[in-house]
């Protein structure tokens, strides 16, 4: 698992990028967006590449705090499931499920 999305921006990985490969200014709200993710979902942890498992914040309005953290396995069913109120709760849930 890797921290992605806003963490890439915070670590400066996009510091010198003014244009993307299409010649447009990059939209960091779309960074690490999977094909079936709705606009309200912002990926923050990427997991298994074979299932495209990822965790992300779900929010109705980008100007407001996230409502919950959810998981999605894009290659399996694309269903978004709430896993906690914050990233720590979702990670705890994920680890507990893996240890069963």
End-to-end CA distance of the chain: 19
More confident site: 14 or 46: 46
pLDDT score, position 60? 86
> Which candidate, 12, 79, 97, 92, places its Cα nearest to that of 45?
92
User: What's the rounded Cα separation, in Å, for the pair 78 and 98?
Assistant: 20
Token code pair at residue 57: 């914040």
The CA angle 58-42-84, to the nearest 5 degrees, is 40
Retrieve residue 37's tokens: 């993710």
CB-CB contact of 70 with 60 (8 Å): no
| CA gap 81, 83 in Å, rounded | 6
Q: How sure is the predictor about 76, in pLDDT bands with cuts at 50, 70 and 90?
A: confident
Residue 57 confidence (pLDDT): 92
Binned at pLDDT 50, 70 and 90, residue 39 comes out as confident
| Cβ–Cβ under 8 Å, residues 58 and 64 | no
Please give the model's pTM, rounded to 2 decimal places: 0.81
């Amino acid at each position: 698992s890797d921290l992605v999305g806003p963490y890439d921006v915070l670590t400066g990985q996009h510091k010198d990028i003014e244009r993307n490969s299409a010649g447009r200014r990059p939209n960091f709200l779309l960074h690490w967006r999977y094909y079936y993710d709705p606009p309200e979902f912002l990926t923050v942890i990427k997991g298994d590449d074979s299932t495209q498992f990822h965790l992300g914040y779900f929010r109705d309005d980008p100007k407001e705090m996230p409502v919950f953290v959810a998981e999605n396995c894009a290659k399996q069913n694309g269903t978004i499931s709430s896993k906690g109120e914050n990233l720590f709760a979702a990670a705890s849930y994920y680890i507990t499920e893996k240890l069963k």
